[in-house]
Structure 1
Amino acid sequence: MDQKERIAKILELLQEKEKLDAVELAEYFQISKDSIRRDILLIVNEGLAERYRGGITLPIIKTKIEDYSKRLVVNSPEKIQIAKSAVRQISEDQTIWLDVSTTVQFIAKELTQKNVLVVTNSIDNAISATEKSKEQAVFLLGGYFNPASHLLHGTSVINQLANFYFDIAFIGASGINESGLFYSELEDIELKQTIIQNAKRTCVLLDSTKVRNTTNFKLDFTNIDLLITDKPLPETINKQLRKDEVKIILVEGGKK
């Protein structure tokens, strides 16, 4: 096994275990400690892992969040398929929440149902929802403008949410593991909790690149009804989702 193949395997193991010990890796591949140190150095320098004394861990997602416009095109085919599946959950005459998420934004582009009220704090969602039909009703929550992600945020956004009851809310996440969904800011948690409390159903849209990504801020699976993704999740995550009665939809073509 050459270095390229070995690094691919290390990254696969890292996704599964989140933390890897250098000595154990050297034994696993039957190579010297110096060789595994070179592999680890290359992985860390590429920003694919964080180093700790004795090994590597998955990076904190907040440190590698990309520019919003760039993230929109990353894995776009998968995100579009997830969004198309999500749109099928929407009926006419409903009120829906669209989260600030590059995957969720594709829902706005695919929406064709009549008499749907879209509520969002994303300027991109508002524009996307009205590009196909100028008649599409959109309520844009007001707050402080974040130029990096084109969202409106702050206590005023959360306060306005109390005036709505959603037939279905679509939310994204920065990551997922067995313990819940992860977000880059503490304010995200309060916002998501308020949305979930004011929704009949809540659907999480998550592409497979988010699996095992973690941050400092976590939301458990309580009151999450549905999760749509593009590849099978690790069985340990599936088991927890089943325990919390979260239905999983794997989009067409979402196979190992």
Structure 2
Amino acid sequence: MTDSLTQTKQDTAASPEARRGRTLAQARLAAILDRLNQGGSVSVAEIARDFAVSDMTVRRDLAELEAQGLLERVHGGAVSLQHGPLTVIDDVEPVFEARRRLNSEAKARIAEAAARLVAGDQTLALDLGTTVLAGARALMAAEPVPGRRIFTNSLRVAQLAAAAALQTYVPGGLVHPSEMSVTGQSAIEDFSRYYFDAALIGASGLTPDGVFDYSPEESAMKSVYFQRASRRILMLDSSKFRRISTVRVADLARISVLVTDAAPPPELAQALEAAEVAILIA
């Protein structure tokens, strides 16, 4: 009670400018927590831009929230604080367009970085998902590679690649309209005949136990990419750290490079290091 009374007196005595500054700061802190609840991560640059404040101000905000035990700071931003048992994400995958809008700026940076990693590769496998689709767009915008071949079970990616006049291969199988994906045993058998220089792979979660995704059918195709590619490049924004879903696709040792937008939290970072996974922060 005494603390509240003291704060009330201080607020009353403060100038209008100081009170307005505190109100804006409180709104900013609330917005940061709201974004963490929605997407699992925030970046310093995005908060600074949206609230017209300096990066230093945002870092002070994040430090204050971390001191209250409400988040965990990472390189370039913060992630949700998740202690104790991991919670399974909803079994029903969010619709494609909703996922595409979520963390779109981070996904664009991840896409550009991943495209640079495979710039000289001729035989590429591209998985499903909004981040991989962004990677496909970045690849098509880059310097053409003579003789490049694209293998994908994403009809969205296939459309982009074919429009760029690349040799484009899709497997036979069942088409899922919402994801515009091709899955099924025949699709798995089709692509299991090939080897790829590199694969760009998406997922819904990453923990020390491995890579996770929603759909058993789509996860089976991801497993093919992990098994048949010389380099397995996992494209994952930091909101998916320490999150699990319906299917465990692969263990960490199957990942060659993790391309993400923020440093993984300590426990996950240690597990990735032990599995000899290279980490590229876009």
Distance 1:91 1:161, change over 3 A: same
The gaps in structure 1 that reach 5 residues or longer are 21-56, 252-256
- Counterpart in 1 of 2:156? 124
Residue 12 (structure 1) aligned to one of 71, 77, 80: 71
Matched, 1:239 2:270: yes
Give the 3-state SS of the residue equivalent to 1:105 in structure 2.
Answer: helix
Is 1:73 the counterpart of 2:105? The answer is: no
Alpha-carbon shift at residue 192 of structure 1 (Å): 2.3
Equivalences, count:
212
Any idea what SS the aligned residue of 2:117 has?
Answer: coil
Instruction: Check whether the contact 1:18–1:58 (CA below 8 A) recurs between aligned residues.
Output: no
Name 2:51's counterpart in structure 1: none
Query: Is residue 2:163 matched to residue 1:98?
Result: no
Q: What SS is found at the alignment partner of 1:233? A: coil
Determine the structure 2 residue equivalent to 1:108.
Answer: 136
Distance 2:105 2:84 in 1: 30
Counterpart code for 2:193 = N
Secondary structure, counterpart of 2:81 in structure 1: helix
Q: Distance in 2 between matches of 1:230 and 1:69?
A: 20
Shift of 1:58: 4.0
Amino acid at match of 1:12: L
The answer for the alignment partner of 1:87 in structure 2 is: 115
> Are the aligned partners of 2:212 and 2:246 in contact in 1 as well (CA < 8 Å)?
yes
Are 2:82 and 1:60 equivalent residues in the alignment?
A: no
Under a length normalisation based on structure 1, what TM-score does the superposition of the two structures give?
A: 0.74
- Which structure 2 residues correspond to residues 70-219 of structure 1 after superposition, within 5 A? 70-92=98-120, 94-111=122-139, 112=142, 113-114=144-145, 115-131=147-163, 133=164, 135-218=165-248, 219=250
Structure whose residues are more often helix by fraction:
2
Distance change >3 Å, CA 58–CA 108, structure 1 → 2? same
2-side partners of 1:150 and 1:11: how far apart? 38
The structure with the largest alpha-carbon Rg is: 2
Quote the offset at 1:85 in angstroms.
Answer: 0.5
Paired with 1:91 and 1:85, the residues of 2 have a C-alpha distance of 10
- What's the TM-score, normalizing by structure 2? 0.68
Q: Post-superposition shift, 1:122?
A: 0.5
1:88 aligns to what SS in structure 2? helix
Whole-angstrom distance in 1 between the partners of 2:121 and 2:240: 32
Whether the 8 Å contact between 1:93 and 1:117 is mirrored in structure 2 is: no
Offset, 1:140: 1.3
Query: 2 CA distance for matches of 1:69 and 1:217?
Result: 22
CA contact (8 A) 2:183 2:221 kept: no
Q: Which moved further from structure 2: 151-160 or 106-115?
A: 106-115
Q: Identity across aligned pairs (percent)?
A: 30
Separation (CA, whole Å) in 2 of partners of 1:165 and 1:226: 18
- 1:30-59 Cα shifts (integer Å, max 9, x gaps): xxxxxxxxxxxxxxxxxxxxxxxxxxx745
SS of aligned partner of 2:252:
coil
Match of 1:224 among 248, 251, 255: 255
